[in-house]
Structure 1
Amino acid sequence: MRRRRGVLLTAALLAQLAAGPSHAVASAGAGWEPTDQCGVVRSGDTPLGGAEVTLYQAGDGAGAAPRVLARARSAEDGRFTLDYRRPQDPRAVLYVLADLGHPGQRTGPDTAPPDGPPQDGPVVLAAVLSGAAAPPELVVNERTTVAVAYALSRFTGPAGVSGPHPGLQNAAGVAHNLADTGTGDIAALLAAPPNGALTSTMAEFNTLADLLAACVTGGACDQLFDLARRPGHDRPHDTLRAAVDIAHDPGHDTAELFALAATTPTYRPALPAAPDAWTVALRYDGNGQELDGPGNLAFDAEGNAWVSNNYAYQADPAVPACGGRTVLKFTPTGRDAPGAPYRGGGLYGAGFGVTVDAHGSAWVGNFGFQGRGCPVDPTRLERSASQFAPDGTPLSPPEGWRRGGIAQPQGMAADRAGTVWIANCGGDGVTRIPDGDATRAREVPTPALSKPFGAAVDPAGRLWVSGNGNDGVQVLAPDGTPERTVTGGGLRRPLAVATDSKGYAWVSNSGILPVPCGNTTADDFATAVATDTGTGPLPGASVTLIGPDGTPAPAPFTDGGLYLPWGVAVDGDDTVWVANFGGHRVARLCGTDLTACPPGHRTGQPISPPGTGYPSDGLDRNTGVQIDPSGNVWLANNWRTVPVQTNPGGHELVVLIGAAAPVTTPRLGGPARP
């Protein structure tokens, strides 16, 4: 069955097209506005004539068939015009496929009438119209194709491009962060700081475009399709599907793919050497003066990211930074949401704790983080949580919510019943807030734990909490009753916890990091971080798997790029993603659903390259990692690689585009597929 999922995308789409122009006629009618779109098909600066250009409306829902809106054939100069009726539905996602047939066997622009049967060849280029203002002239080339392949990688299937709201719509917007459909160039966001020349992503993106050009103009299609084929899946038969397959398995045949890209140097700058993985990592920094030590993030129902922030923004690491007094909210495309960042509600020095509850409220734990030299006494400020309405209005009082024993709060989680949970690192207990009503908050002691840190709710509504101070995990019933305590299984200075759809819990083991709460100081934590010499994984770095009954796996997992694990997230395929507080890498492990893993993989076995994981020079020291409804993996650059304790905070979020299986948000238990 897994092999059948690799059926050629465009074959299904073009089969619909071959049924005749009745699809376009069916599109016309009440509620549709007539319009036209000019465009050009190119490879680099070379126009591509004779392309069968088709405009589609993506299917509304998983597996739904796309609708053909218009067709045209590109002239000798590559230009075309699509006449169609625009859907009134503002959520409709429109995209274009340009089918050029087989290299060397292309026909001229007048060989077949526009309503004749389409070509069925390996050269298929793509571009997204939705998600940005329609350009005067749409450019369809290898860059726009790579943008579609990565941003919409999780929405391609046998029926074509389709998916539910908001993931599909958000993905269409993200495609415009990669390629400019009005020029065919690198998009402005990718071309400028904190991206551009500051990371290798722009060069990697161009190299991926060169890889497609090796087929489009170089004729090396068979070689491309052989190398892009994912283990256990059908061989791709066109350039778009090949790029999608690379996005799904970015660590496969990297050196060979790089060598093929080098044969057709069309786009510049390009990579000088093969990457360890073809992950496309974008940095987001909002207005450029707000992120300073982002700790963690949580997504709302529309895929907006709420981000906790350790410090008040200060660009100079030598200038003391006091605790952050804002919560950030980023749109799915990495911009500030209206009015963001938000202030008030008792915010100060938020840590790892942020969640969105079943009613849409965002909650932030005020840990009291601040840089060395800040004159503020955080003693009272570190004992509260802040609550915000979806529009950023503070719902907590100016001093924050203080009931229920909140003390140096860290991990937070919410369940489907509306309960919000807070792990109190400085109080050796958790706070339970029923139905999101902070006036009813109560303290739940966790005597089996020291320094509660990570928190996650499983599909049954139970809370899993890690104890950084005593190498344990405790499970609480939905009403707060202690159910069991877990030790062993490699638990060592555990931090984050994530649960999967079957009720298993995955716990990151930092091995060495003592969280600075209670009797542990920030200097103790900084001393432990200083043992990271950059030469390899730190002692005890691993991930522990715990069954729903509380039984840990006999041994922890230590491969796949695990270096100094912190954040953990589980995607819609139950695949496990681990952020590292060192090593500039993300690990990806096979989860409990083996059908989502490469053939022969076992639970816990690395999917990312064993020695390196998915590395990126856009990553610093990462804490939080979460998956959005489009399948993007978001990470928090919490600290600089070489942290100066006056202001050690990092200044970006990093997003691996289309790398994971989408999840429904907000996260209210184990991951659910949209």
Structure 2
Amino acid sequence: MRRHRGVLLYAALLAQLAAGPSPASATAPTGPGAPLPTSQCGVVRSGETPLGDAEVTLYQAGANGSGRPRVLARTRSTADGHFTLDHHRPDDPRAVLYVLAELPRPGGAPADGDRTAPHGPVTLAAVLSGADAPTELVVNERTTVAVAYALARFTGPDGISGPHPGLQNAAAIAHNLADTGTGGIAATLASPPNGPLTSTMAEFNTLANLLASCVTGDACDRLLDLARPPGRERPRDTLRAAVDIARTPDHNAAALFALAQTSRSYLPALPAAPAAWTVALRYDGNGHEIDGPGNIAFDADGNAWVTNNYRYGADPTVPVCGGRTVLKLTPTGHDAPGAPYRGGGLYGAGFGITLDARGTAWAGNFGFQGTGCPIDPAPLERSLSQFAPDGTPLSPPEGWRQGGIAQPQGMATDRAGTVWVANCGGGSVTRIPDGDAGRAREVPTPALRKPFDTAVDPVGRLWVTGNGNDTVQLLAPDGTLRQTVTGGGLRRPLAVATDSRGNAWVSNSGVLPVPCADTTPADLAAAATAATDDPATRPGASVTLIRPDGTPAPVPFTNGGLFLPWGIAVDGDDTVWVANFGGHRVARLCGTDLTACPPGFRTGQPISPPDTGYPSDGLDRNTGLRIDPSGNVWLANNWRTVPLQTNPGGHELVLLVGAAAPVPTPPRN
């Protein structure tokens, strides 16, 4: 009897060794106040097929770009794919946890728990944090694609790591793509304004099928070869392959689609190859609040503050008046507490929104409204509205009116806390030192007609576009004129952005007159309607680069899918992203840091496909474009594709998930 009991104990010990060590358990704190152990059950699957003998590891993501992930628990899946991970939950409530399931190389698992034996090319992944942990975690191709895209900019050779809040927000957004409790499509992706209304859900399934062609098929070498970015190392497994596809979405797009056809595990799938594998996710807040979103600004936590041109109305034939709310959406697309916010003189805010050093939000009241609205906008289009971080209005009921505010549009804030405003209807900019509206003063810009947008460069200088006379001006931090720039292809310029080296990038619509002063929204609509797919109908659509000394590049940059360029932003790698008021596409250009571009590229060369850009049927007429600290490109669906002037507003914000290098938000003072 004793011998039989000894055999059972020895067998249990071997089973524990085969499951592998749990480094977290070995070093877990003990005694009063120590975190209680937690068990996480799960299953590894490909489609409906269980994957046994996978090495399943639970990690805590690194806390910053150089921090290495920490192993919390490790085990192996049983023949039916199931596993249990016993671990101590980290003390940090912001910790990001994720699971990797690595399958052994063909020919069998490493024997006797030999962890030195190499894994195969199959690695599946799922994120645990960012949403409540499910009773049973499913790790499959869908959850892997969700991790690869949402965390594309935080996944490196050693695993996942990154700074707050970008890493945490990215983990939360992964749960908008895949449901880790079922392995299915997440509710956000499955439902309007996504779901059957766009092709993103089918594209997401096709990407999952692409990974399945390796997981349960024999296409691993082909997948890894096709996913390899130009000039970079070949990815070593399916997770890294999906990350590389997210980062270089147009590379081998058609060949990857053909490979995905070898698996039909996930449906519905795309019927034809996309121009690029960008994943576009639409947000509409509570579903009845967004109408004509104009522009976007991010706070220190990565929440999106958004201007709203119009009061919400679902029927475009019914006249709407100016929007009286400013939106604040969490990174996952939900209303922040108490949002949307009202008061403070808000009415028909346009392209102008910014946050100052204290985290207060400023919106410019342009006076947008649909035709047929009985309100006279003239008294309402000469003010700014200011809100505390919790949405409390700080401006009076009539808004801030000092400093010559007149049909305000683009706004920016410098590191010293100065707020700048372009007065499209006044031929000037307004300078507000330290965000103190009582000290606002008007800075005339006589060389600019219809000042439209502003951007601050790394040394605090202000760049301002003039849509009415193809001009850009450069002002010193105190408002003194430094340079007036013409030429370089400037033609109906709209937005401006600066890079880390002090260069200014200007989007040239070519034909779009902004609706201020003597121009109306109907004039803008007519110009937009006249522009067709024929480039001859949209001359001048381009991007101009202006060097820090005010010298424009002699020839503007075209192609990359530019089609009525409007919003523009520079990402953390200094590559340039451009929104378009037509064509349902986003353009991406190589910046001045050539190391961030494909090998052999030069400044201004299109990274996105030259003919189409990054297209998406989730896009309408886009104005604002901004990049958040998770690397998501946010776009404002400002107008419908066929706008009725009674209510032309679009109803969504669109994210290109994980498409860009993250842009850190400034810390709040």
Measure the CA separation in 2 of the matches of 1:118 and 1:21.
18
Measure the CA separation in 2 of the matches of 1:18 and 1:449.
70
Measure the CA separation in 2 of the matches of 1:467 and 1:116.
64
Counterpart of 1:227 in structure 2 is 226
Measure the CA separation in 1 of the matches of 2:68 and 2:667.
28
- Contact 1:328–1:340, Cα closer than 8 Å, also in 2: yes
Counterpart of 2:587 in structure 1 is 587
Counterpart of 1:659 in structure 2 is 659
Counterpart of 2:12 in structure 1 is none
**Corresponding residue SS for 1:226:** helix
- Contact 1:414–1:667, Cα closer than 8 Å, also in 2: no
Deviation at 1:120, TM superposition (A): 1.9
Counterpart of 1:166 in structure 2 is 165
Q: Which residue, out of 102, 115, 122, partners 1:99? A: 102
Q: Which residue, out of 79, 95, 100, partners 2:82? A: 79
- Contact 1:432–1:444, Cα closer than 8 Å, also in 2: yes
Measure the CA separation in 2 of the matches of 1:233 and 1:425.
46
- Contact 1:356–1:666, Cα closer than 8 Å, also in 2: no
Measure the CA separation in 1 of the matches of 2:456 and 2:270.
42
**Corresponding residue SS for 1:205:** helix
> Given the alignment of the two structures, is residue 272 of structure 1 paired with residue 271 of structure 2, yes or no?
yes
Gaps of 5+ in 1: 1-16, 669-674
Counterpart of 2:133 in structure 1 is 134
Deviation at 1:27, TM superposition (A): 4.1
Measure the CA separation in 2 of the matches of 1:50 and 1:28.
30
Deviation at 1:118, TM superposition (A): 6.2
Counterpart of 1:317 in structure 2 is 316
Counterpart of 2:8 in structure 1 is none
Counterpart of 1:176 in structure 2 is 175
Measure the CA separation in 2 of the matches of 1:174 and 1:528.
37
Measure the CA separation in 2 of the matches of 1:480 and 1:382.
23
- Aligned residue type for 1:202: M
Deviation at 1:121, TM superposition (A): 1.4
1:122-144 residue CA offsets vs partner (Å, 9 max, x unmatched)? 00000000000000000000000
Deviation at 1:88, TM superposition (A): 1.6
Deviation at 1:535, TM superposition (A): 4.3
* Paired residues for 1:237-252 under 5 Å: 237-252=236-251
**Corresponding residue SS for 1:435:** helix
* Paired residues for 1:149-164 under 5 Å: 149-164=148-163
Counterpart of 2:40 in structure 1 is 37
1:572-623 residue CA offsets vs partner (Å, 9 max, x unmatched)? 0001000000000000000011000000000000111111000000000000
* Paired residues for 1:207-606 under 5 Å: 207-536=206-535, 538-606=538-606
Deviation at 1:37, TM superposition (A): 0.2
1:378-429 residue CA offsets vs partner (Å, 9 max, x unmatched)? 0010000000000000000000000000000000000110000000000000
* Coordinate RMSD, CA, aligned: 1.6
Counterpart of 1:619 in structure 2 is 619
- Contact 2:469–2:492, Cα closer than 8 Å, also in 1: yes
- TM-score, normalisation: structure 2: 0.95
Measure the CA separation in 2 of the matches of 1:270 and 1:365.
43
1:18-60 residue CA offsets vs partner (Å, 9 max, x unmatched)? 9965454224446433101000000000000000000000000
When structure 1 is superposed on structure 2, of 23-32 and 523-532 the one drifting more is 23-32
> Structure 1 326/118 Cα, relative in aligned 2: closer, same or farther at 3 Å?
farther
- Contact 2:365–2:382, Cα closer than 8 Å, also in 1: yes
**Corresponding residue SS for 2:100:** strand
1:648-667 residue CA offsets vs partner (Å, 9 max, x unmatched)? 00000000000000011149
Counterpart of 1:64 in structure 2 is 67
Counterpart of 2:57 in structure 1 is 54
Measure the CA separation in 2 of the matches of 1:325 and 1:45.
49
Measure the CA separation in 2 of the matches of 1:270 and 1:666.
40
- Aligned residue type for 1:147: A
**Corresponding residue SS for 2:179:** coil
> Structure 1 166/456 Cα, relative in aligned 2: closer, same or farther at 3 Å?
same
Counterpart of 1:8 in structure 2 is none
> Structure 1 179/485 Cα, relative in aligned 2: closer, same or farther at 3 Å?
same
- Aligned residue type for 2:107: Q
> Structure 1 467/53 Cα, relative in aligned 2: closer, same or farther at 3 Å?
same
Query: Higher Cα Rg: structure 1 or 2?
Result: 2
- Contact 1:594–1:603, Cα closer than 8 Å, also in 2: yes
Deviation at 1:514, TM superposition (A): 0.7
1:80-130 residue CA offsets vs partner (Å, 9 max, x unmatched)? 00000001210100000000123x42439xx544x8446421000000000
- Aligned residue type for 1:304: N
Measure the CA separation in 2 of the matches of 1:597 and 1:152.
20
Deviation at 1:559, TM superposition (A): 1.0
- Contact 1:52–1:118, Cα closer than 8 Å, also in 2: no
> Structure 1 203/356 Cα, relative in aligned 2: closer, same or farther at 3 Å?
same
- Aligned residue type for 1:81: T
- Contact 1:294–1:651, Cα closer than 8 Å, also in 2: yes
> Structure 1 358/275 Cα, relative in aligned 2: closer, same or farther at 3 Å?
same
- Contact 2:23–2:72, Cα closer than 8 Å, also in 1: no
- Contact 2:23–2:71, Cα closer than 8 Å, also in 1: no
- Aligned residue type for 2:213: A
Deviation at 1:232, TM superposition (A): 1.1
Deviation at 1:522, TM superposition (A): 2.1
> Structure 1 27/251 Cα, relative in aligned 2: closer, same or farther at 3 Å?
farther
> Structure 1 82/373 Cα, relative in aligned 2: closer, same or farther at 3 Å?
same
**Corresponding residue SS for 1:87:** coil
**Corresponding residue SS for 2:88:** strand
Counterpart of 1:26 in structure 2 is 27
- Aligned residue type for 1:650: G
Measure the CA separation in 1 of the matches of 2:107 and 2:579.
47
Size of the aligned set, in residue pairs, is 648
When structure 1 is superposed on structure 2, of 539-548 and 157-166 the one drifting more is 157-166
Deviation at 1:529, TM superposition (A): 1.5
Measure the CA separation in 1 of the matches of 2:569 and 2:667.
11
> Structure 1 317/534 Cα, relative in aligned 2: closer, same or farther at 3 Å?
farther
Measure the CA separation in 2 of the matches of 1:123 and 1:577.
33
Measure the CA separation in 1 of the matches of 2:400 and 2:635.
28
- Contact 1:31–1:88, Cα closer than 8 Å, also in 2: no
Deviation at 1:433, TM superposition (A): 0.3
- Contact 2:21–2:74, Cα closer than 8 Å, also in 1: no
Deviation at 1:546, TM superposition (A): 0.2
Measure the CA separation in 2 of the matches of 1:448 and 1:600.
39
- TM-score, normalisation: structure 1: 0.94
Measure the CA separation in 2 of the matches of 1:652 and 1:392.
21
- Aligned residue type for 1:453: F
- Aligned residue type for 2:567: G
**Corresponding residue SS for 1:41:** strand
Measure the CA separation in 1 of the matches of 2:640 and 2:522.
16
- Aligned residue type for 1:38: C
Measure the CA separation in 1 of the matches of 2:562 and 2:580.
7
